[in-house]
Structure 1
Amino acid sequence: MYTRAQLLAMGYDDELIRRAVQSGVLVRLRVGWYAARLHDPTIAAAVRDGGVLTCVDALQFHGLWIPPGHPGLHLRRTPHLTGKLPECRPLVGRLRTANEAVDPIPVALNHATRCLDSDEWIAVCDSYRNRTGVGRGDLAADMGVTGAKVIGMLEKTDRRSQSGTESIARVRLRAVGYDVVVQPAVEGVGHTDLRIGKLLLECDSVRHHTSKEDYERDHHRDRRALVDGWIVMRLTYDDILYDWDGVLADIRAITRAGRHRARGVEDRAMVQRSVDLSLLGGTVPSDFDT
């Protein structure tokens, strides 16, 4: 996708642009916007309707984890333009002139604050922060936001999270009062996803266990953890996204009975070794930003 200004910078002039459109080398999408003969139809649809791709569609285009259940074309428009389709608007922040066919990630994240639930939005931010290592303050600056609600959601992000399902489980469990440790190191097992006391939660993604090797490795890890005294609960993608009430009921059945608590000397030593190993491995109990 190209704007007229981009084509001019590439050496075209208006006559060359006109000839390219006539020959089919370029496709005119709207005034001042063009596409190569082979182009992404979703992006083209956004441009044709006076906008650019943003929100969850842009985030997916950039390769971030996206929760299911957000169909339709997600676009935004430069303030003076109109179109037939509804557009995504941020909770806070000014509307920006659209100069690229696909919004950069910080702009798309800002426009996703209305379309995604807060736990979903935090999970997508986790995906971005895990990939880039960007701190919360820098991300807020890149997004151009200062509103309390969005800043509050940013403060709940954690760049250590390894999957969207792990992020959503963490946010939901903390929201109901659980003290959740992220990516704890467990002796003889390695890092697990989440920990509540001596209850280990492993959150599988939709692509998890696609190979026999992955399947067998995880079951060996679970068996070793159980033998050592941990309680292991493995949660599937569908469990977390479509049966959360059932998941929470099962976790509460364990915690209400106190089965997750490290009461004996051996259990307390086991949990303390996990804390010590996490510190030695460079994983700190809190997600500190510099």
Structure 2
Amino acid sequence: MHVGDWIDHAGGIAHTNDALRAGFTRYSIKAAVDARVVRRIRRSWLATVNAPSSLAAAAWSGGRVACLSAASHHGLWTLDDERFHLAVPPHSGHVRRGGALVHWSTGPIPIARTTLVEPVVNALWQIADCRPFEHALATWESAIRSGQISVDLLDRLPMTSAAGRAVRSACSQLSDSGIESIPVARLARIGITVAQQVVLDAHAVDGLIGDRLVLQIDGYAFHRTAEQRQRDIAADRRLRLMGYTVFRIGYADVLNDWERVELEICTAIAQGLHLARSDDVQGGVRHERRRRTARAVLPTR
């Protein structure tokens, strides 16, 4: 195998020592560089044209892809802040920032010197201290939902940060997407508890406040087909016929217009729209709470 093919197979970028351990000689590596099949990043890294830009930037800077950038690399749900996040050891000397946001920290998972991307756990630790509480919570729950980390493991790992402890305490497996985690955390902040994944009309709803106020939270509009949208509208009609008030909240509502949405929810609660009528139990209208309400602990920073 040619050294360039091997590097592509390794992800487009590799440390020189790893190439030597794989059996390539310094001569073959130099020949590949001279032929411009491979380029050097600093002295120790080799990259092909297929090298991800984030990994090349980390190698050039002498650090690791971290925080939000690492979470995106691992496929987790994030709200991108349009910055490249880089981690370096706390006592590092000169760092080539290149416009990156540098995290001078190490996470609980020890990693090799030549690792270019923080593992999921370390990225979550950094996100807790770097991002707003509800944004961090959404990414942590994405990691749990995707199976890349478990609640039990999170409970066993040391957490020295107050912000991290708050996020860890609030985590649950009830949100189906990151955009569902944020409203639950924001409403908890003002004392409103949202029960998640409650079964109504034989289907789980995203959230239920009290007995009668249903929250349905949609993700990106272009991820939903016209057929799915029609099913959602029909489900909302059935719930209204059963006596529920249904708020369907969109992605843009959560991120760009939350104050209005929160005010509408509070106004509905002020009118008692979240409460069951006295004749509901007598008439046999009940709902089944299939899962427990997610814990919501506010950040202390």
How would you bin the TM-score normalised by the shorter chain? 0.7 to 0.9
Q: Which amino acid aligns with 2:276?
A: A
Residue number in structure 2 paired with 1:2:
14
Residue number in structure 2 paired with 1:261:
275
Task: Quote the Cα distance in structure 1 between the aligned partners of 2:233 and 2:67.
Answer: 37
Q: Which secondary structure state, in structure 2, belongs to the residue aligned with residue 177 of structure 1?
A: coil
Is residue 74 of structure 1 aligned with residue 74 of structure 2?
Answer: no
Residue number in structure 1 paired with 2:39:
27
Residue number in structure 1 paired with 2:134:
119
Task: Quote the Cα distance in structure 1 between the aligned partners of 2:129 and 2:28.
Answer: 42
Deviation of residue 166 (structure 1)? Answer: 0.8
Which structure would you say has the larger RCO, counting Cα contacts within 8 Å and 6 or more residues apart? Answer: 2
Residue number in structure 1 paired with 2:204:
191
Q: Which secondary structure state, in structure 1, belongs to the residue aligned with residue 228 of structure 2?
A: helix
Residue number in structure 2 paired with 1:147:
161
Is residue 176 of structure 1 aligned with residue 190 of structure 2?
Answer: yes
Q: Is the 8 A contact 2:145 2:173 kept in 1?
A: yes
Q: Which runs of 5+ in 1 are unaligned?
A: none
Taking structure 2 as the reference length, the TM-score comes to 0.83
Alignment of 1:125-274 (within 5 A): 125-132=140-147, 134-139=149-154, 141=156, 145-188=159-202, 190-197=203-210, 198-207=212-221, 210-266=224-280, 272-274=286-288
Q: Flag the 1:177–1:284 CA change in 2: closer, same or farther, 3 A.
A: closer
Q: 1:12 aligns with which of 18, 24, 30?
A: 24
Deviation of residue 18 (structure 1)? Answer: 2.1
Deviation of residue 49 (structure 1)? Answer: 1.8
Count matched residues: 278
CA deviation vs aligned residue, 1:97-126 (integer Å, no higher than 9, x gap): 643222221111122223311110000011
Q: Flag the 1:147–1:257 CA change in 2: closer, same or farther, 3 A.
A: same
Deviation of residue 43 (structure 1)? Answer: 2.4
CA deviation vs aligned residue, 1:22-55 (integer Å, no higher than 9, x gap): 2223221123222223211232122212222111
Taking structure 1 as the reference length, the TM-score comes to 0.86
Deviation of residue 225 (structure 1)? Answer: 0.7
CA deviation vs aligned residue, 1:134-168 (integer Å, no higher than 9, x gap): 433413556x5343431221110111211111100
Residue number in structure 1 paired with 2:74:
62
Deviation of residue 172 (structure 1)? Answer: 0.6
Task: Quote the Cα distance in structure 2 between the aligned partners of 1:48 and 1:222.
Answer: 53
